[in-house]
Amino acid sequence: MLRMKSSCERCGVSLGLTDQAFICSFECTYCSQCAEQLQKQCPNCQGHLVLRPTRSRSPTEGPPQRFKAKLEKLLR
């Protein structure tokens, strides 16, 4: 599972689950402004920085009730 870091590794700005951020293949995380300044190249591994996907909720939250009901029905 992708680790959604909560701040930019360069400037420290807070990044929420739905905020636009950029990551490399090692999940180094940067805000849009820092990614542009770095020319979308990770200073740690020299990998390409790509747009990080967003999440609507934290994975630590329980599954939606509809999903839970479907899962229970399948397991019966």
CATH code of the domain covering residue 49: 2.10.110
Least confident of 2-6, 10-14, 54-58: 54-58
β-pairing verdict for 29-31 and 21-23: antiparallel
Q: How far, in Å, CA of 11 to CA of 37, rounded? A: 11
Side-chain-facing half-sphere of 76: CA atoms under 13 Å:
6
Q: Which residue is it, tokens 């479907």?
A: 70
- Give the pLDDT confidence of 16-71 residue by residue, as tens digits: 988 999 999 999 999 999 999 999 999 999 999 999 998 776 655 655 667 777 77
Number of domains in the chain: 1
Question: Which residues form the domain of 47?
Answer: 1-54
**Residue 69 falls inside a structural domain:** no
Instruction: Report pTM.
Output: 0.72
Element (H or E) spanning 48, and its range?
Answer: none
**Residue 13 falls inside a structural domain:** yes
DSSP letters for 43-66: TTT-PBPEEPPP-SS-TTSPPPHH
Q: How far, in Å, CA of 50 to CA of 32, rounded? A: 10
